[in-house]
Chains A and B, each alone.
Chain A
Amino acid sequence: MTATETQQAVEKIPTGISSFDIIAKGGLPRNRTTLISGTAGSGKTIFAVQFLAAGIAAGVPGVFVTFEESAEDIRKNMLSFGWDLTKWEKEGKLAFVDASPDPSVETVEAGAFDLGALLARVQNAVRKVKAERVAVDSLGAVFSQFSDQSIVRSELFRIASALKSMGVTAVLTAERVDDYGHIARFGVEEFIADNVMILRNVLEDENRRRTIEILKFRGCDHQKGEYPFTIVPDSGVIVIPLSAMQLSMKSSNVRISSGNSSLDEMCGGGLFRDSVTLVSGATGTGKTLTVAQFLHGGARDGERCLLLAFEESRDQLFRNATGWGFDFEQMENDGLLRVVCDYPDVSGLEDWLVTIQATINDFKPQRVALDSLSALEHVGSSKAFREFVIGLTSFIKHQEITGLFTSTTGSLMGGDSITESHISTLTDSIILLRYVEMFGEMKRGLTVLKMRGSWHDKAIREFTIGKGGMNMGRPFGNVTGILSGTPVHVSPSDLERAWSRLEGDIADRRRPIEPPQSD
């Protein structure tokens, strides 16, 4: 080995915490201490225990040093995440160093002291189970156990450097007062700051939003900025990596049927296999019908379809589908359809994303329809909503699933919704459904506004709804202003004049541009 080879870059160990390794670009730096700072209830202890639990699952023993909650409390609390600490202790995979304060014993300080006993206990525990991971929770609680803070400070520094020399990878938690303020109380980051991570739990529009940020990893790279995460029973911390997921998406040229042959034609032969389509329209324009067609078309081709319905009940959906001639019940019995029906407000957007991902992983559908995104819009802040849509679109594209989302426009005629302005750039295709008022009658119009990577019909076509779904008709040839919500009927002679003017314009533009005269 040459001299340059011995000077290796900082190695990282995969923590095993869902998606955290993506934003940490590989995991936590090996043989270093990482400070996890956060306000009360931000999930520090859970993260710390999960770090050990994931290690133990991978055959790496760990030591948990607790200064705050008693070991007994932690054993009990962590059972809800499916982590049986007692079992691991019996199997020799985990050791506790219980340094939580004991209120029954009164302690008096009489002269100078050090934390040598604590260090000896930690070293003993690490030796005993051959630990490679150590979690310390939390540093601030040590300060409250002793009155002489300068001693505690220097002793914690000694313990942190001892952890390094023991060859373990450690996480140390610390409290902070504000979600946006000093890194941690007691200035612990000043002496244990190889790596600093921050967990936040911010109240936004009456909703709690959890984020994780890697502030620094000394000597190695990581993703920057705050990433939303959620804490779920049975799995613990789940990070939702937004930017990291989008980078590695594939692109497919395979076309699939939207379930309606005329619509397929308008889209240039069908929807792309791993594309996400947004169907936007006012209430009653036929969004749910488009969804039902999409699902029926999938089942017809033997594909598994997942429907996430947030607007209508299961019974309503099935009844409406029967009216259009689609037998959802049969599709379900054939194992080709799964319907998830719930109120959007039952959980936060991060939790919805995790639930939906779990359902997709379980059912492995080829098609996913969501009706409607607008119903989810108010569950969280606009930022959280955008992250949800990014997370969901990138996830389903990643799995090569075809997605169809609907969004409801606020006004009956024309207009766009907040949902659209948020997510139109994230979707590959946009289909607009609009009401068109014609001579005292409401007609329905459909247009393919955007179809990434493909030719598509530019016309706004009239359609009727009947047995079998949509019946596509002729384009609205002599109506203008449908999209803006103010349809105007144009007489054939006006139309001809407009065309000739347009042609004149084009001829003008084709004339070569005169080079500017130089002085």
Chain B
Amino acid sequence: MTGESARSGTAIANLRRICEQDLAGAYDLEIIDVLEFPELAEDAKILATPTLIKSLPPPLRRVIGDLSDKEKVLLGLQVQPKPGATGTDEVKK
């Protein structure tokens, strides 16, 4: 995310909705403001904002944009849109 921008807000809202609807709440989300922590963006080699990184379960996946295209988000994350999915999805943003 970059600060309190409108696009950041849209992305967070979109992501929460996808997670609640399709991952049945089985997720762990961390939101990072790159303006505040540019070193983290440097370490993860992130260029675009917003960027969604799925670190667990492997493989590592990235989705950029405001996440308005739900199909693409699910495709990019390679997670099954199955209600009541088990396991923990930790999502860093």
Query: A residues within 8 Å of B by Cβ?
Result: 97-100, 102, 104-118, 120-121, 123-125, 142, 145-146
Contact = CB atoms under 8 A, between A and B. Distances in A.
Contacts of A109: 63-65, 72
Given A120-B2, A121-B41, A124-B39, A111 B76 contact: no
A109 B7 CA distance: 14
B68 A107 contact: no
A118 B7 contact: no
B68 A111 contact: yes
Given A109-B72, A113-B7, 6 more contacts: A106-B76, A108-B63, A111-B11, A111-B65, A123-B38, A124-B39
Contacts of A114: 2, 7, 48-49
Contacts of B31: none
A97 B45 CA distance: 8
B34 A108 contact: no
Interface string B1-30: 010010100110010000000000000000
Contacts of A124: 38-39, 42
Given A112-B7, A124-B39, A117 B69 contact: no
Interface of B: 2, 5, 7, 10-11, 14, 34-35, 38-39, 41-42, 45-51, 59-69, 72-73, 75-76
For chain A, what secondary structure do more than half of its interface residues adopt (helix, strand, loop), or is it mixed? Answer: mixed
Contacts of B35: 116, 120
B49 A113 contact: yes
Contacts of A102: 45
B63 A145 contact: no
24 contacts: A97-B42, A98-B42, A99-B47, A104-B60, A108-B62, A108-B73, A108-B75, A109-B63, A110-B64, A110-B68, A110-B76, A111-B66, A111-B67, A112-B7, A113-B48, A113-B65, A114-B7, A116-B34, A116-B49, A117-B34, A117-B48, A118-B47, A120-B35, A120-B38
Nearest to B38: A124
A105 B60 contact: yes
Given A108-B72, A120-B2, A113 B64 contact: yes
Nearest to B68: A111
A229 to B, nearest CB: 32
B58 to A, nearest CB: 12
Contacts of B7: 112-114
Contacts of B49: 113-117
Contact of B65 (A97, A110, A120, A123): A110
Contacts of A123: 38
A120 B41 contact: yes
A97 B34 CA distance: 14
Nearest to A122: B38
Nearest to B11: A111
Nearest to B48: A113
A201 to B, nearest CB: 29
Contacts of B62: 105-108
Contacts of A108: 61-64, 72-73, 75-76
Contacts of A145: 47
